[in-house]
Amino acid sequence: MTRITAPSCQPVDRASASTASEQTRKAKPPKAPSDREGFRQAMSWLHTWAGLILGWLLFAIFLTGTLSFFKNEFNLWMRPEMHGLQPVEAAAPQVAQTAQRALDALVRKVPNVTQWIMHLPDDRDPAVNILWRDTGNGRFETLRMHPQTGEAIDTRQTMGGDFFYRFHFELRTAQKGRWTLQGRWVVGVATMLMFVALISGVITHRRIFKDFFTFRPTKGGQRAWLDAHNVTGVLVLPFYLMITFSGLMIFHTLYMPAGIATAYQGEKGVDSNAYFADLQGEKAESRPRRGLGDKVEPLPAIALPPILAEARTRWDGGRIGSVQARRDAKGRAVVEVTRHEGDRLQYRPPRLLFDATTGQWLDQADATGPAVKTYGVLYGLHMARFADVGLRWALFGFGVLGSLMIATGMVLWSVKRSATSQTQASRKGAAANTDAVTKAPFGERLVAAINIATLAGLPLACGVYIASNRLVPLNVEGRADVELAWFFSAWGLALLWALACAVVRPSRMGWSVPLGAAGLVWALLPVINALTTHTHLGTTLPAGEWVWASMDLAFLATGLLLGGLSWRLRPGRAPRGKAAATKAQRTTPVAALPAASDVSASTSGA
Amino acid sequence: MSAFLLCFAAWSAIALGMDRHHEDATGREGAARSLQQLRRTGWLLLLLSLWLAAHPAGSVPASLGVTAWAVALSVAAVAVTAAVTWQPRRTPLLAGMALVAGLGAWAWGW
């Protein structure tokens, strides 16, 4: 028998693989008293399981949220009909002319409009976007208009970047919202667990501040995964704490409705509208809630230029974000001018109220109380509407790092457990000398499968969604939902593939195929774009239209990155280095393990 | 921009004040005293960059300046980690250049 007794084998493995510096660190007597160690163990348990249970969902939320930083750019790119619109100068009277032209066009189209909200063009969105309705309380219709001519732009039906945005906070599965409240609750629970995982993670990985800049990808195995998890975790920690906490705060009224229910008792039950009006520093009667069948008088003719000019003087030349008109509770037509969201950190921007017929200034609405201001700042930090291009890319990078932190955490769970079960198996002598694949327990295989389906499947699904925007014929019924069907089908296929590769019949193809497919789709996006539209790199690069061109270039870069990852994980590659460590641990001979078992001790405690 | 460069210099100094990275960068162990001085310099530089960010030029509100600084802080930390991982020998040089460029960028109002 070649069986070695476990106690003698374990320390040798550790010593051979750790460096001298690590040994000295281990040799130090533990300073902490034992109850602190117990606390850390408990936090480690909490971190592991809070992270695992909703980790996959968190990855999806984090990644789509990251993409949402470029929501407007996605919206633009996925509507190539909007290409070629000339930007409107924010400072000049052109803005007022643009607004008036769009309003005239709207009134020509819908003479008895009762309410409209007009988003004026800015440097991220060149069109005039109007939401309007001609009923008391019906659904708003959307209209996009040419900023110079006021003509409606006929765009393809798509959710564009709004899908990522909506999926991010309410797990939206259809263009017209369904299960949105339930979705928000699920996301809220996941966010809470993220917060728990962040705080317990700081306690668990206590060395992160000592090892602040330490990343050792060449060490391979679990060490490299742990380094990657710690480094992506700690360097951007302020961002994670901010984004998670503010994410929780945004929907505080959903999670904790009791306060409103107590303080805002109206005649017809709870009047949450009054609460929100107070929150935003408004008078509730300026924005009345109407029943579905209520008759509302159409709006009178409105002259916008004098109103907008006065708004600008009152804000010392600040930018105007949007304008809206409606009838207040007394039936008076009012115009509300909202300042541009990029002008300050705090969300929502201040608003000015004017009489629609006389153009007279009535009121200023803005959050005032310190708690409300704090809420606004948290909200603003989360939405990052203030960010210019450079800051936006940096935040996007943080989002990617956060997704990587979650991803490496999930992989660590698998790597660590398969390392343990391999060691156990080798102790039993089952696979000590053979290269035979040891089958991991069902639970571990299931986690491995869902890891593949989420971490590799979601990038694939996102790529397929964007591709479908170009490939689905324009006249298909319910086109926006067809695009979403592509997204969810791709994700579902990835799940089936992962289950087949990891649960039913373990195979090393699991990671490389969906990642390779994702890389292919993303890298092909510029090509598909060139074949189906005129807004491809061939025209946008020479014209210096960087918003359009950088989308294509970013898609290409994403594709190359995913492709490279898939190449590193391909079957047959020697199971060394960090990439191979993902799946290698389960399927490789025990010889590869010492490097892994050396750190398994330091993950849990150190 | 100046916030990023100054934070980069600051984080580099802190990193070079740590045993492991000091050894990687210079090839020898640093004296405890000089390591401590490096770390102190780093922290002071971080404070300086925060102070500069809180007094932005032009019409930018201080809240946005500090937010941008917080972003630059993390970006610089990522950059320094990359530097000490893949270019440990050049990290001191890069840090010095970042310090000069950062002060220059601040003087130009970037």
Q: DSSP letter string over A71-93?
A: HHHHHHHT-GGGTTPPPPPSSST
Q: Which residues of A touch B71 (CB under 8 A)?
A: 239, 391, 394-395, 398
Q: How far apart are CA A239 and CA B8, in angstroms?
A: 18
Give the H/E segment covering residue A365. Answer: strand A361-365
Name the residue type at position A580: A
Distance from the B30 Cα atom to the nearest Cα atom in chain A, whole angstroms: 15
Size of interface A-B (CB pairs under 8 A): 61
Substitution target from B46, B71, B84 for chain A, most A beta carbons within 10 A: B71
| pLDDT at residue A361 is higher than 70 | yes
Mean of the pLDDT values across residues A204-210?
80
A 10 A CB-CB count for A194 gives 27
**Lowest mean pLDDT: which of A108-117, A222-231, A510-519?**
A222-231
Q: How far apart are CA A340 and CA A75, in angstroms?
A: 19
| pLDDT at residue A17 is higher than 70 | no
Q: How far apart are CA A365 and CA A368, in angstroms?
A: 9
Q: How far apart are CA A414 and CA A440, in angstroms?
A: 10
Mean of the pLDDT values across residues A264-276?
80
Mean of the pLDDT values across residues B67-89?
90
Residue with tokens 């000590």: A432
**Lowest mean pLDDT: which of A44-48, A413-417, A562-566, A589-593?**
A589-593
Name the residue type at position A161: G
pLDDT (0 to 100) of residue A20: 41
pLDDT (0 to 100) of residue A227: 86
State the burial class of residue B29 (Cβ atoms within 10 Å of its Cβ: 0-12, 13-18, 19+).
exposed
Mean of the pLDDT values across residues A414-419?
79
**Could you tell me the pLDDT band of residue A576, with boundaries at 50, 70 and 90?**
very low
Mean of the pLDDT values across residues A431-444?
60
Q: Which residues of B touch A212 (CB under 8 A)?
A: 14-15, 18, 77, 81
**Could you tell me the pLDDT band of residue A602, with boundaries at 50, 70 and 90?**
very low
| pLDDT at residue A595 is higher than 70 | no
- Residue that wins the pLDDT comparison between A317 and A460: A460
**Lowest mean pLDDT: which of A66-80, A169-183, A286-300?**
A286-300
pLDDT (0 to 100) of residue A428: 61
Interstrand relation of A351-355 and A333-339 (parallel, antiparallel or unpaired):
antiparallel
Q: Hey, what are A472's tokens?
A: 């689905």
Q: How far apart are CA B92 and CA B34, in angstroms?
A: 14
Name the residue range of residue B70's domain: 1-109
Name the residue type at position A12: V
Substitution target from A19, A213, A229, A230 for chain B, most B beta carbons within 10 A: A213
Q: Which of B61, B73, B81 sits opposite A231 (nearest CB)?
A: B81
Is residue B11 a contact partner of residue B5, using CB atoms and an 8 Å limit?
Answer: no
**Lowest mean pLDDT: which of A30-34, A157-161, A380-384, A412-416?**
A30-34
Q: What sign results for the dihedral spanned by CA atoms A431, A589, A231, A206?
A: positive
Name the residue type at position B40: R
ipTM for the complex shown: 0.89
* Local structure of residue A317 (DSSP, 8 states): T
Work out the percent of chain A whose per-residue pLDDT is above 70: 84
pLDDT (0 to 100) of residue A399: 94
Largest distance between two CA atoms of chain B: 48
Q: Which residues of A touch B77 (CB under 8 A)?
A: 212-213, 235-236
**Lowest mean pLDDT: which of A244-248, A418-422, A476-480?**
A418-422
Distance from the A187 Cα atom to the nearest Cα atom in chain B, whole angstroms: 25
pLDDT (0 to 100) of residue A185: 93
- Beta bridge partner(s), residue A352: A337, A364
pLDDT (0 to 100) of residue A21: 42
The answer for A429, left when phi > 0, alpha when psi is -120 to 50, beta otherwise, is: left
For chain A, give the mean pLDDT.
Answer: 81
pLDDT (0 to 100) of residue A426: 63
Contact between A398 and B72 using a beta-carbon 8 Å cutoff:
no
pLDDT (0 to 100) of residue A589: 33
- Residue that wins the pLDDT comparison between A79 and A3: A79
Q: Which residues of A touch B73 (CB under 8 A)?
A: 238
Mean of the pLDDT values across residues A472-483?
92
Is residue A498 a contact partner of residue A510, using CB atoms and an 8 Å limit?
Answer: yes
Contact between A21 and B63 using a beta-carbon 8 Å cutoff:
no
Dihedral, CA atoms, B30, B32, B38, B40, nearest 10 degrees? Answer: 170
Inter-helix orientation angle A577-587/A221-235, to 10°: 130
- Residue that wins the pLDDT comparison between A11 and A125: A125
Distance from the B57 Cα atom to the nearest Cα atom in chain A, whole angstroms: 15
Q: How far apart are CA A300 and CA A282, in angstroms?
A: 23
Q: Which of A21, A215, A397 sits opposite B81 (nearest CB)?
A: A215
| pLDDT at residue A321 is higher than 50 | yes
Residues of B with CB under 8 A from a CB of A: 11, 14-15, 18-21, 61, 63-64, 67-68, 70-75, 77-78, 80-81, 84-85
* Local structure of residue A69 (DSSP, 8 states): T
Is residue A198 a contact partner of residue A240, using CB atoms and an 8 Å limit?
Answer: yes
Check whether the bond before A348 is cis (ω within 30° of 0): yes
pLDDT (0 to 100) of residue A33: 53
pLDDT (0 to 100) of residue A569: 81
> How many domains are contained in chain B?
1
What is the three-class DSSP state of A251?
Answer: coil
| pLDDT at residue A596 is higher than 80 | no
> pLDDT for A76-111, tens place per residue?
999 999 888 888 876 667 888 899 999 999 999 988
Is residue A208 a contact partner of residue A240, using CB atoms and an 8 Å limit?
Answer: no
Show the beta-strand stretches assigned E in A517-566: none
Q: How far apart are CA A86 and CA A68, in angstroms?
A: 24
pLDDT (0 to 100) of residue A438: 56
Q: How far apart are CA A396 and CA A403, in angstroms?
A: 11
Q: How far apart are CA A178 and CA B14, in angstroms?
A: 51
Contact between B85 and A217 using a beta-carbon 8 Å cutoff:
yes
Q: Which residues of B touch A231 (CB under 8 A)?
A: 81
Give the H/E segment covering residue A102. Answer: helix A94-109
* Local structure of residue A331 (DSSP, 8 states): S
A499 and B CB contact within 8 Å? no
Q: Which residues of A touch B72 (CB under 8 A)?
A: 394
Name the residue type at position A192: M
Contact between A238 and B77 using a beta-carbon 8 Å cutoff:
no
Nearest CA in chain B to A215: B85
| pLDDT at residue A413 is higher than 80 | yes
Q: Which residues of B touch A401 (CB under 8 A)?
A: 78
- Residue that wins the pLDDT comparison between A440 and B53: B53
pLDDT (0 to 100) of residue A62: 94
> pLDDT for B2-40, tens place per residue?
888 999 998 998 888 888 888 888 877 778 888 888 999
Q: How far apart are CA A303 and CA A177, in angstroms?
A: 35
Q: List Cβ neighbours of A477 (8 Å cut-off, separation of 6 or more).
A: none
**Could you tell me the pLDDT band of residue A25, with boundaries at 50, 70 and 90?**
very low
**Could you tell me the pLDDT band of residue A427, with boundaries at 50, 70 and 90?**
low
Is residue A342 a contact partner of residue A320, using CB atoms and an 8 Å limit?
Answer: no
For chain B, give the mean pLDDT.
Answer: 86
Contact between A345 and B77 using a beta-carbon 8 Å cutoff:
no
Mean of the pLDDT values across residues A304-314?
91
Is residue B93 a contact partner of residue A226, using CB atoms and an 8 Å limit?
Answer: no
| pLDDT at residue A498 is higher than 60 | yes
